[in-house]
Structure 1
Amino acid sequence: MRKKARIIYNPTSGKELFKRTLPDVLIKLEKAGFETSAYATEKSGDATEEAQRALQGNYDVLIAAGGDGTLNEVVNGIAEQPNRPKLGIIPMGTVNDFGRALHLPNDIMSAIDVIIDNHITKVDIGKMNNRYFINLAAGGQLTQVSYETPSKLKTIVGPFAYYIKGFEMLPQMKAVDLRIQYDDEVFQGEALLFLLGLTNSMAGFEKLVPDAKLDDGYFSLIIVEKANLAELGHIMTLASRGEHTKHPKVHYKKAKAINISSYTDMQLNVDGEYGGKLPGNFLNLKQHIEVFTPSDVTISELTEQ
């Protein structure tokens, strides 16, 4: 029996390359035994709604073609359901943090080959209040970089745009009094930011969470205490090498469930998009989603760069 596949794609991602390549993609999948159709998103939330409709249509495979935002929306459309289809990913965004973590090829046809090869990996996802994420959730002014960086700058210089914007924002950063309960421990004090990582990458920082595991049921929690400008610049430099967890102002923990609150406003970043404000209740859903991954890469290698 032929498998049913539904492609959900952002037509503006990757300078509209996927949109132009779509006829060849459909032909390749049809020849591989998939009955395939496609849907182009137009606005925020479209990918979530289409993923929910695809569930009702009993699709075996959903393919998200776009950036991490498109992928996040697709996951939010299927995460609550027991009959979740397998998830294929064609990275088309500026950075593609989740695709990097899975070692997925950037070439469209090579990414389709990964789906056709049918090698499946079960990966964790996070739940924040009533929203799901697949890569990272964070709070603090510096974490606003991914959705405040101008699109034109990202188009010109790619992932380096986030570094430029990040260093530009350093002088503006202010510490916030936070209470962070993680499993049976508590951090209480002034912090500049916190990060909950499911993978090792955010906005191109490929060693941000150096020992992240995609399927162990744990978040990697990073808390950066109040620091001066020089210390914060040093932490960012260390982060590019994966050595920031050794800094005395940085706390690095593992936890399955995390509750974070504050009396002061702190914006949240969820998979590179604005995620509201604190408080936040975070839960790791172990091996909740099945994704297609390269057959020559084992789960233990997926976070090694």
Structure 2
Amino acid sequence: MSAKWFFIINPTSGNGAAKKQWNPIYAELKKQQFNFDFSFTEHKKHSFELIEKALKLDITKFICVGGDGTLHTIVNAILNLNPINLSKIKLGIIPVGTANDWVKTYKISNNYKKAIQTIKEEFTIKQDIGKLHIYENNSTVYFNNLAGIGFDGYVVHKVHQFKYLGALAYLTGALLSIASYKKSNLSVKFNNLEINEKTLMLLIGICKYSGGGMQLTKNVNTTDGLFDISHINKITLITLLRNIGGLFNGNITNHKLVKNYKTSQLKITDLDVKKTFIQADGELVGTGSFEAEIISGALNFIVPKF
């Protein structure tokens, strides 16, 4: 097993911030005497190719220099490759994204020097990972933070227009879209329960934060082998405006319009002709019906000691 680290930098992360910050990050890594290689991604699936080559060199320590989307891509590359030594792989991050939601759960600093110190200490947690099987294109998508269908996916579809707003992009997209969005007719099955009704959105969470720091799922535990489900039948623009604080402090999950559940797997059938958007970790991954299951303790993430 190689002691070398491999850093994957997405130059477009954080509206180009990752590319600008790489020189001081590189200098700090040299100062801290890291033994490492690095590469900039050149296209969406480049991470897969880079990780595949690194695994052949027995490299097991990977660092994402980017945001939630880059981390999502790296997680999917590792789990789709499914190496024999998967349990030995460690994955860390120097957050340089737009929202940096995943790191908030573990209080990983946005300061690159502090993030590097966390990486150097190599304390890991075996986090659960979600696995989606999307019927539309018979695809498998993994997620490490939160997935959703309905309004959540619709906002992700639209949010690229507001990327320049940084962490406020999702909230802006949500507020501008809520009045015109048409609810989806979904069948949701889990825990011997079946919900058949018009649904605004269904959230499937593992970690605490999404949408630029919002807390939209309840009783989060990243290692309990269970998804945290929030099902919202309806909510108005006025209700959203009255509860903006609750979106960010988690109190929205106690609202009478939000129903909370725990489950390890579920099946969602989209009954509409016009198929509903699905997002995973803030990335649009498909439309329509899918199944979700949780993989307990699937991946070792480098996080601060707690």
Q: TM-score range by the shorter chain?
A: 0.7 to 0.9
State the aligned residue count.
Answer: 294
Unaligned runs of 5+ in 1: 299-305
Query: Which deviates more, 56-65 or 141-150?
Result: 141-150
Tell me if the contact between 1:142 and 1:169 (Cα under 8 Å) persists in the aligned partners. no
Q: CA RMSD in A?
A: 2.2
In structure 2, the partner of 1:217 is 225
CA drift of 1:181 comes to 1.1
Please say if 1:280 is aligned against 2:290. yes
Tell me if the contact between 1:258 and 1:283 (Cα under 8 Å) persists in the aligned partners. yes
One-letter identity of the residue aligned with 1:5: W
In structure 1, the partner of 2:5 is 5
One-letter identity of the residue aligned with 2:114: S
- Assess, with a 3 A threshold, how the Cα gap between structure 1 residues 120 and 176 changes in structure 2: closer, same or farther: same
Q: TM-score, normalization: structure 1?
A: 0.88
Distance in 1 separating the partners of 2:59 and 2:45: 20
SS at match of 2:179: helix
CA drift of 1:10 comes to 0.6
CA drift of 1:248 comes to 2.7
Unaligned runs of 5+ in 2: 134-139
CA drift of 1:228 comes to 5.0
Q: TM-score, normalization: structure 2?
A: 0.88
- Assess, with a 3 A threshold, how the Cα gap between structure 1 residues 78 and 176 changes in structure 2: closer, same or farther: same
| CA displacement, residues 88-137 of structure 1 (integer Å, 9 cap, x when unaligned) | 11111110111111211101122111110111111111000111011111
Distance in 1 separating the partners of 2:110 and 2:150: 30
Please say if 1:180 is aligned against 2:188. yes
CA drift of 1:212 comes to 0.8
Distance in 2 separating the partners of 1:177 and 1:20: 45
One-letter identity of the residue aligned with 1:154: K
Tell me if the contact between 2:217 and 2:260 (Cα under 8 Å) persists in the aligned partners. no
In structure 2, the partner of 1:96 is 100
Residues 1-305 of structure 1: pairs in structure 2 closer than 5 A? 3-26=3-26, 28-29=28-29, 32=32, 34-79=34-79, 80-84=82-86, 85-129=89-133, 130-150=140-160, 153-155=162-164, 157-231=165-239, 238-264=246-272, 265-295=275-305, 298=306
Tell me if the contact between 1:18 and 1:108 (Cα under 8 Å) persists in the aligned partners. no
In structure 1, the partner of 2:136 is none
CA drift of 1:29 comes to 3.8
Distance in 1 separating the partners of 2:288 and 2:277: 7
Percent identity, aligned pairs only?
Answer: 28
Distance in 1 separating the partners of 2:144 and 2:157: 17
Tell me if the contact between 1:2 and 1:34 (Cα under 8 Å) persists in the aligned partners. no
CA drift of 1:240 comes to 3.2
